[in-house]
Amino acid sequence: MSRRTGQKGHTERSGNWWVVRWWMDLEGQDKRVHKRARICPVSGPGVLSKSERIRRAREIIAESGADTVEHFNAVVVKKQETVTTFQEQGARWLGSLRTRKRNPVALSTTEDWERILGNWLNPHIGTLPISEVNNASLKRLVAAMSGAGLSPKTIDNYAGLVKMVVASAVDAEGEQIFPRKWNHEFIDMPVVEKSKQNTPCFSGDVMTGLAGWKKPRERVLFILCGAAGLRIGEALGIEIDKHIASDFSLLKIRQKARHCKIEERLKTQSALRDVDLHPAIANLLKEFVGGRKSGFLFSTRNGKPIASSNVIRRHLHPALEKLKYVNPHTGNHKAGNHAFRRFRNTYLRNHTECPEGLYKYWMGHAGEGMSDLYDKIKEDVPFRKKWAEQCGFGFTLPSVVPNVPKKAAKTKAAKAA
């Protein structure tokens, strides 16, 4: 109601009468309707001047009660309270995210939000009317999450989802029905300390060790992620005939793989880029591909992209354990695939003289100002290639690298037979 500033109405001539039209909330209807009332005759007894007609039109609207808080509470708020719960509004909101054209949300994101709603938010506040999801109810939810041992960052993310669902309840004119001023002090929202977040980054020695992993397919994946700074989904989505230059010196990041399926939408617009490779990495990649002309660079026996979860569980974690790696944030040997990306960014930024605009482009980082917007380094291919060779990649490659994965080797043997 606080967003409605009051209606002046629209006066117009209808036959022999001047009339006023205005919007009115009606009980039992989702949308407001147009109401109309006579102001005065066009001529003769009772005729009014223009200023008098405007003043009378406002009086008619005021008498109808259309702009009063009492009418709004009796019709709109009452309807929302009795019909819409937090769980129902969350479902509507997710449905709208999947079809909207402006700022579309990735499928992986909506699936994560749906999981959070189902596992955490709906069990605690799902039955509450959306009008009652406020600072007090969020305070109770935060306390429950803290008691369950969730990290401050996780709690902050989940609370943000609550705020988005409440804000998504809008009227027919797109105005928030239940605007909120969230009070983090009252809610006792835990403070997120970035230094304590689990954000491991591999060192050059660890990368050298991972580059010697016993499994050829995963070994090349580790090398490529560390030397190019790719997100794991980007690396697993690479197709030989579509995304690798003929001389293997460049990767075209155009899609990603998730749950062994391809998603054409990348994480951000900046993620769509070309990544130049050091000649040594290009040669290694060429040997790994061998005689293959198409298909995914890292594929299963059935030709599908491999699963990132399998890479972590079956290869990365065992390799790190063998290397006696210690995650400084958790104290154990486990780290995620994003540690490769942090290694590449740290190396380029602190151990080379790589221009800032170039390493941001290679990493797929979004620009922060007009200077980034005007930077056209992506169009200067010779300059990029020169710096790719000059910067290096920060770790040592094994002396012997297998040529092709088993699948390709078997195919060659079958043809020879």
Residue 194 lies in a domain: no
Domain count, the chain: 3
Q: Are residues 98 and 62 in the same domain?
A: no
DSSP state of 315: I
- 152 and 258 in a single domain? The answer is no
The answer to whether position 99 is within a domain reads yes
Return the H-helix or E-strand segment holding 123. helix 122-125
Q: Report the C-alpha gap between 313 and 238 in whole angstroms.
A: 21
Q: Indicate whether 197 belongs to any domain.
A: no
CATH of the domain at 266: 1.10.443.10
Question: So what's the pLDDT on residue 27?
Answer: 60
Q: Please state, in angstroms and as integers, the Cα–Cα distance from residue 255 to each residue in 242, 266, 312, following that order.
A: 11, 6, 21
One domain, residues 369 and 253: yes
Whether the predicted pLDDT of 26 surpasses 80: no
**What count of Cα atoms within 13 Å lies in the side-chain half-sphere of residue 369?**
2
pLDDT at 312: 95
Closest residue by Cα to residue 270 from 347, 361, 334:
361
- Determine if the pTM surpasses 0.75: no
Say if residue 228 is in the same domain as residue 360.
Answer: yes
234 and 342: one domain?
A: yes
| Contact yes or no for 332/317 (Cβ under 8 A) | no
Q: What are phi and psi of 241, to 5 degrees?
A: -85, -5
Angle at 164 between CA 137 and CA 272, to 5 degrees: 145
pLDDT in tens, 255-312: 999 989 998 888 888 899 999 999 999 999 999 999 999 999 999 999 999 999 999 9
184 lies in the same domain as 212: no
Q: Which two tokens stand for residue 9?
A: 């109405």
Measured distance CA(327)–CA(199) in Å, rounded = 9
Tens digit of each residue's pLDDT (9 = 90 or more) over 300-348: 999 999 999 999 999 999 999 999 999 998 899 999 999 999 999 999 9
CB atoms within 10 A of CB 367: 14
Give the domain CATH number at 171. 1.10.150.130
Task: Assess whether 318 and 411 both reside in one domain.
Answer: yes
In whole angstroms, give the CA distance from residue 251 to residue 197.
31
Angle between helices 107-116 and 86-97 (to 10 degrees): 170
Least Cα distance to 398 among 280, 259, 314 occurs for: 280
SS3 content of the chain, % helix, strand, coil (to 5): 50, 10, 40
CB atoms near residue 360 (< 10 Å): 22
Domain that holds residue 100: 84-188
Residues 6+ apart with CB under 8 A from 160: none
Among 67, 185, 180, residue whose Cα is nearest residue 134: 180
Q: Are residues 113 and 252 in the same domain?
A: no
Distance CA 347, CA 330 (A): 23
> CA-CA distance, 355 to 362, in Å (whole number)?
11
Contact 137, 179 (CB under 8 A): no
The whole-chain average pLDDT of the chain stands at: 87
Domain co-membership, 28 together with 149? no
Q: Are residues 134 and 179 in the same domain?
A: yes
